[in-house]
Amino acid sequence: MRIYLIRHGETDWNLQGRLQGREDIPLNETGRMQARQSGRVLQKTGVKTIITSPLIRAVETARIISKSLDKARLIIDDDLIERDFASLSGMTYDRSKYFDTFGVAENSLEPLDKLSKRLIDCITSYAKKYPKQDIIMVSHGAAINAVISVLTQGKNGTGVTGLKNACICILTYENKQLQLEAFNLSAKEFEDRP
């Protein structure tokens, strides 16, 4: 089976380079257009179930994609929520690096090992629940990057890969193994795959 793991569309905070964390920031018009493009290219997958983070930017992305997929069933799961950036939420990336330099935030951030375990456990549980159908999961940049980092043993993902808004990552689940087939694909790149 395949899991299409999708980052939410663009928000104004993405444009401003702000860490969103668990702040509930809505999509902007570009983000809605990106979600529509993703929905269009995912039509051929036949997906009937979309699982999403509870944050509005992910839920809105999932709802827009669902409209393209004959109104696929939507499930909200808290385990797909973004990493907790604690006091860094709302800061620009440059400002957060300043705080990181002095170790202010390190103790308050959700640890990467817990983040990746939470996401991988969530993905695996739905893969087991729907073994005969492909599914879509909508989450967030840091959360998805943590998964990619584990699946590529650190070659990609956290600290290495900047994920595009509304990018599509393709995971496979076979013989109780989760594997990364492709990642960070724009709608056009997904559509142009052989």
Residue-range domains of the chain with CATH = 2-82+111-191 (3.40.50.1240)
110 catalytic? Reply is no
pLDDT digits (tens, 9 = 90+) for 83-132: 988 777 777 766 555 455 445 555 578 899 999 999 999 999 999 999 99
pLDDT, mean over the chain: 92
> By three-state DSSP, how is residue 37 classified?
helix
Catalytic annotation, pick one of 8, 10, 110, 140: 8
181 catalytic? Reply is no
Query: Would you say the pTM of this structure is higher than 0.85?
Result: yes
Residue 101's pLDDT is: 45
Q: What share of the chain is helix, strand, coil (3-state, %, to 5)?
A: 45, 20, 35
Return d(Cα 104, Cα 116) in angstroms, integer: 22
| pLDDT of 187 above 90 | yes
pLDDT digits (tens, 9 = 90+) for 123-181: 999 999 999 999 999 999 999 999 999 999 999 998 899 999 999 999 999 999 999 99
Pairing of strands 135-139, 2-7: parallel
Return d(Cα 68, Cα 37) in angstroms, integer: 9
Catalytic annotation, pick one of 10, 23, 29, 82: 82
